[in-house]
Structure 1
Amino acid sequence: MEREHAPVLIIGAGLAGLSAAMFLGLHGVRALVVEKHAGTARHPKARGQFPHTMQALRIAGVEDAFLAAQPADPGFTIKIAATTSGPVFHTILAGETPDFSAFSRNAWANVSQEKAEVILLERARELGADVRFSTKAESLEQDADGVTVVIRDLITGTAREVRADHVVAADGHRSPVREWLGIGRHGRGVLGEGVNAVFEADLGADFDGRNLLFYLRNPELPGGGGAFTSTDDRNRFTFGVGEVDDIDEQRWTELIRIATGRPDLEPKLLACNSKTTTSALVADRFGAGRVQLIGDAVRTMPPHGAMGGNSAIMDGFSLAWKLAMVVKGQAGQGLLDSHDAERRPYSEVLVEQQYANMVRRNSPHLADGTEAEPIDPAELILGYRYPDGAIVREADEDGALFENPAEPTGRPGSHVPHDKSTVDIFGRGFVLLADESTWDTKATEAAKALGVELPVHRVEDPARYGVSTRGAVLVRPDGFVAWRGEGDLEAALRTVLGR
């Protein structure tokens, strides 16, 4: 059997896997990506990118491509209704998105997964990734020195071994890699199953070029409801119901007529019976040795809140700089171990938030008092913290997972306070923020000792970051504060790098 070597092998080429490959390339590490499907997603699936995701995409050089790929009307409308023609029981969003301009320079985008994956794929390849479709990972074994994965070309049937230094599992909610590693999951479990259809129909000016999502409550539909969404293409829509068995085309036509409240509608069916499983589950571990898991492989949640696709992209952003530094010999295993310590607690909150959204919006019969209280959107996406992980914890660390981004603390593990003068300096490596020039020498010495780059950016108001004029703030490549203070910079950086 032929064998090849890869510094990083990524299994799965969805939003998570392609993002990881793209961000690894940005940090100078070429990844091999294998995907069992023949190409990128052909179904609209997840839609929408929050400002923190757009900030990461801007760093990767694809922000403009995402903004250009969204529909002409980027606003988003969400309604709970009997049919898309009414009556409407409740409007959740009426075309607007929250204003986060005080916390981020980046706007929202509203690109579907089918278009997002194409953009990510193109950029990942530009940055050196080798992406192979119709290629399945069949087995995985790791030892102290690396990971051996058998992959098979599903077109030719040829199998070969890949010897990888590290593996990223982005292989979806059924994740064979997670199963091979014996990693379990916990949470509320499987909540329901259903089928989707994609169809074309002229529903009139009210639907033309708009981003619409309807949660339907209608006893005439299987399971008493369904979900209806627009897509990036004019007059193309998706519709899903809670039905396990396949539905024939005649029945789909009947259901679409019920869902739209238009008994004479003649929809053109483009695809039918795409299976969906709704669950609320989080992996017990996000990594095992040289294998790290991201995306749906580690969390599944109801699609009520758009955090599934966003968290998948941000997994890639969060993991890539760590993995790149380990591959380059600049960091130790401790930095990779922080992937679990940082992303798992946050994921558990996201899953519960979206479950609560589902109960409130579409499944009130599931309400039992255990649903999470809503977290303000700004806090949820721009105020979350890592109280443990690749940081130097302070003595009075309170372990809080969130803070108000309008009142940033600058604590290690939090987002660096938003500042228009510094926003463009983060994303490629560590940065030291300081006022006194004495930190230039300290940064140079620490960088030389640890074999990393550590530029110093002068700030005029260190108090904004919670330090005196004599102090400094170490910011990670992902824009989180790693350390602050007046002490030993080299020791702090060594701790963060797991060395």
Structure 2
Amino acid sequence: MSAAADTDPEVLVVGAGPVGLCTAIELARRGVRVRIVDRRVEPRPGTRACTVWQRTLEVFDLMGLPVGAYLDSGVDYTHRTHHFAGLPPLVRPADQPGTRYPRPLLIGQSQTEEMLTRHLAGLGVQVERGLTAVALEQGPARVTVRLTGADGTRHTVRAGWVVGAQGPHSTVRDAIGGSWEKRSCPGTQLLQIDARWTGSLPGDPAHCHLFLSEAGSLGTAPLPDGRHRFYAGVADPDPTRTGDPDVAEVLDAVRRVSGASDLRFHDGRFNWRVRLYNAVAGRYRAGRCLLAGDSAHTVMPVTAQGMNTGVQDAFNLGWKLAAVVRGRASARLLDSYEAERRPIALALAERNERTYWGGVGPVPPFELLRSRLTGAGEAGTGHTGLPLAYPDSPLSAGTAPAAGGPGPGARVPDVEAEGGADRLFRLLGRGDWTVLAFPEDPSDPAAAEVAAKEAAAGAGRAGVPVHVVTGGRGPDGTLTDRSGALRASLGAEAGALFLVRPDGYVSFRGAVRDGSALDRHVTAVLS
């Protein structure tokens, strides 16, 4: 039980998977009294969501998690090799520029949850296990939640707010009356196993592979324990069949798609059958109840986006809910959560439906698909999470840069800095709004004074720290950028004002003398 188990929390998080844990961490590190419960008596075993994309690693860094040790526990995702039937393999590096974490990580979900659980415990919050949310009722100031223990005991919690992160079967979603329409992929299924293997499967075994043939699709990925994840999307001859597949059934599917008839599996585990569907909740919030992760959107696990998208839900929601609970913003701030995150889920579901091939229906044009990948360049980086932006958010305002640098709603890159932080993420990772003021001339003290004055009024009233970025050392609050890397990365060579959100996205961008516009925006989003 947590230290707050005998009290009514300010926020109750229902579900202790990666999404619930990240939500609880974001709340707890901002001083919110939080409880987190999960129906399972023990954490769920298995590798499950094993791909952690670049932006998720950045998010973990911004949350203050021990990313270095986490990376050491996994396997680098270095390359992806595409095998289209009848065509030469296409090898593409997974590295992406502009981030401290250029490669994705392959690691079991249970290890991710262990890391998050340890960090949450360090913040004074323990996961309360064996407690199932069976009903809830909203009042004007509280949500009453009824829990049933694994031993049959009954508990009542009165929380200021409730976040449902239970997964696809969500008591919280049902209670708020949110729609949940599934769009299934009839006639196909996903068969999965973690296993060691021998045989003539083509390509470097250290790479991730994607095979497309008339029989369906197959993905493979190396895992930290020496096994490989195999997941095959193939025709489903018997939709009434229940239960997980045996090794022979998965092996047969993998052989048919890959053409490796001599392939053998050894020491297999976590055999899994999934009948695929996408679903997005009609709303993410009703009153004092909110949804995150698979409770808000369940997408086919064929693009390794479900957990990553859920973590970004939690990162988006956590600081907003904390600001409301702590009285630093009105509940209107929470309206931006659904406005920003639901379109992301809808687009992901649409892309999955459009691109998934499971051996049913017209065979995709493999040569055309391969040619598109050959010339994809930066356009093929959406899965990394790095290009994600919120330009149409109610929290985004100001002017887009004429050339280079992030505009309103865009992600801020991590850049080396001096004075107050060794890099920008260390400054942003403190978890508050931040103003960055770039003088027109970084070496002129008078220009720095003008930038500080323009930034100070609205930010000061709202308690937002201001950091003037100069070319040399200055007073407290100054960031030193002798190399000009920070100025160049943000496209601020002519001077600029930035209001950066607690999750590392630009809320406002303007010229260095746009202090009055910044003042109005700060007042609008934080009042």
TM-score range normalised by the length of the shorter chain: 0.7 to 0.9
Q: Which secondary structure does the structure 1 equivalent of 2:134 belong to? A: strand
Aligned 8 A contact 1:482 1:496 in 2: no
State the superposition RMSD in angstroms. 3.8
Aligned to 2:390: 386
Q: Which secondary structure does the structure 2 equivalent of 1:6 belong to? A: coil
Describe the shift of the 1:202–1:413 C-alpha distance in structure 2 as closer, same or farther (beyond 3 A).
closer
Which runs of 5 or more residues in structure 1 are unaligned? Answer: 82-86, 398-402
* Equivalent in 48, 52, 55 of residue 55 of structure 2: 52
Q: Measure, in 2, the Cα distance between the counterparts of 1:407 and 1:384.
A: 19
One-letter identity of the residue aligned with 1:330: R
Aligned to 2:302: 304
Aligned to 2:70: 66
One-letter identity of the residue aligned with 2:506: V
Once the two structures are superposed, the pairs formed by residues 306-455 of structure 1 within 5 Å of their partners are 306-359=304-357, 365=362, 376-378=379-381, 381-394=385-398, 408=404, 410-416=406-412, 419-421=415-417, 423-424=424-425, 425-427=427-429, 428-434=431-437, 435=439, 436-440=448-452, 445-447=457-459, 449-450=461-462, 452-455=463-466
Describe the shift of the 1:23–1:409 C-alpha distance in structure 2 as closer, same or farther (beyond 3 A).
same
Once the two structures are superposed, the pairs formed by residues 9-408 of structure 1 within 5 Å of their partners are 9-59=12-62, 60-71=64-75, 74-80=77-83, 91=89, 93=91, 96-97=93-94, 99-101=95-97, 103-108=98-103, 109-154=105-150, 156-185=151-180, 188-189=183-184, 194=189, 196=191, 198=193, 200-203=195-198, 210=206, 212-213=208-209, 215=211, 217=213, 230-235=222-227, 237=229, 242=236, 244=239, 245-246=241-242, 252-253=247-248, 255-256=250-251, 259-260=254-255, 261=260, 265=264, 267-268=266-267, 270-272=269-271, 274-359=272-357, 365=362, 376-378=379-381, 381-394=385-398, 408=404
Higher mean displacement: 296-305 or 321-330: 296-305
Aligned to 1:476: 501
1:487 aligns with 2:515: yes
Q: Measure, in 2, the Cα distance between the counterparts of 1:350 and 1:258.
A: 26
Q: Measure, in 2, the Cα distance between the counterparts of 1:262 and 1:110.
A: 27
One-letter identity of the residue aligned with 1:492: H
Q: Measure, in 2, the Cα distance between the counterparts of 1:453 and 1:211.
A: 45
Aligned 8 A contact 1:31 1:130 in 2: no
Aligned 8 A contact 1:30 1:127 in 2: no
Aligned 8 A contact 1:30 1:128 in 2: no
Q: Which secondary structure does the structure 2 equivalent of 1:316 belong to? A: helix
Aligned 8 A contact 1:472 1:484 in 2: yes
Aligned to 2:8: 5
Q: Measure, in 1, the Cα distance between the counterparts of 2:515 and 2:134.
A: 50
Higher mean displacement: 321-330 or 174-183: 174-183
Q: Which secondary structure does the structure 2 equivalent of 1:326 belong to? A: helix
Describe the shift of the 1:196–1:115 C-alpha distance in structure 2 as closer, same or farther (beyond 3 A).
farther
Describe the shift of the 1:158–1:441 C-alpha distance in structure 2 as closer, same or farther (beyond 3 A).
farther
Q: Which secondary structure does the structure 2 equivalent of 1:57 belong to? A: helix
Which runs of 5 or more residues in structure 2 are unaligned? Answer: 418-422, 440-447, 472-483
Q: Measure, in 1, the Cα distance between the counterparts of 2:317 and 2:525.
A: 14
Aligned 8 A contact 1:335 1:390 in 2: no
Structure 1 residue 202 displacement after superposition: 4.6
Higher mean displacement: 311-320 or 296-305: 296-305
Q: Which secondary structure does the structure 2 equivalent of 1:340 belong to? A: helix
Q: Measure, in 2, the Cα distance between the counterparts of 1:263 and 1:464.
A: 51
TM-score normalized by structure 1?
Answer: 0.80
Q: Measure, in 1, the Cα distance between the counterparts of 2:164 and 2:132.
A: 12
Percent identity, please: 26
Q: Measure, in 2, the Cα distance between the counterparts of 1:173 and 1:248.
A: 19
Describe the shift of the 1:289–1:459 C-alpha distance in structure 2 as closer, same or farther (beyond 3 A).
farther
Describe the shift of the 1:46–1:464 C-alpha distance in structure 2 as closer, same or farther (beyond 3 A).
closer
Q: Which secondary structure does the structure 2 equivalent of 1:10 belong to? A: strand
One-letter identity of the residue aligned with 1:456: H
One-letter identity of the residue aligned with 1:493: V
One-letter identity of the residue aligned with 2:29: L
Aligned to 1:400: none
Per-residue CA deviations over 1:321-373 (Å, capped at 9, x if unaligned) read 111111111011111110011111222222223333324x86663879xx999
Higher mean displacement: 488-497 or 257-266: 257-266
Aligned 8 A contact 1:257 1:264 in 2: no
Describe the shift of the 1:496–1:90 C-alpha distance in structure 2 as closer, same or farther (beyond 3 A).
farther
Q: Which secondary structure does the structure 2 equivalent of 1:391 belong to? A: coil
Q: Measure, in 1, the Cα distance between the counterparts of 2:9 and 2:210.
A: 45
Per-residue CA deviations over 1:90-111 (Å, capped at 9, x if unaligned) read 74656x31x322x222232222
Describe the shift of the 1:216–1:113 C-alpha distance in structure 2 as closer, same or farther (beyond 3 A).
farther
Q: Which secondary structure does the structure 2 equivalent of 1:148 belong to? A: strand
Aligned 8 A contact 2:278 2:298 in 1: yes
Describe the shift of the 1:266–1:492 C-alpha distance in structure 2 as closer, same or farther (beyond 3 A).
closer
Per-residue CA deviations over 1:179-206 (Å, capped at 9, x if unaligned) read 2211114574455674756464452798
Q: Which secondary structure does the structure 1 equivalent of 2:161 belong to? A: strand
Q: Which secondary structure does the structure 2 equivalent of 1:121 belong to? A: helix
Describe the shift of the 1:437–1:152 C-alpha distance in structure 2 as closer, same or farther (beyond 3 A).
farther
Q: Which secondary structure does the structure 1 equivalent of 2:409 belong to? A: coil
Aligned 8 A contact 1:38 1:133 in 2: yes
Q: Measure, in 2, the Cα distance between the counterparts of 1:407 and 1:382.
A: 19
One-letter identity of the residue aligned with 2:287: G
Q: Measure, in 1, the Cα distance between the counterparts of 2:323 and 2:220.
A: 44
Q: Measure, in 1, the Cα distance between the counterparts of 2:407 and 2:192.
A: 47
One-letter identity of the residue aligned with 2:461: A
Q: Measure, in 2, the Cα distance between the counterparts of 1:248 and 1:311.
A: 26
Structure 1 residue 66 displacement after superposition: 2.2
Q: Measure, in 2, the Cα distance between the counterparts of 1:17 and 1:141.
A: 20
Aligned 8 A contact 1:305 1:357 in 2: no
Q: Which secondary structure does the structure 1 equivalent of 2:107 belong to? A: strand
Aligned 8 A contact 1:78 1:214 in 2: yes
Higher mean displacement: 463-472 or 160-169: 463-472
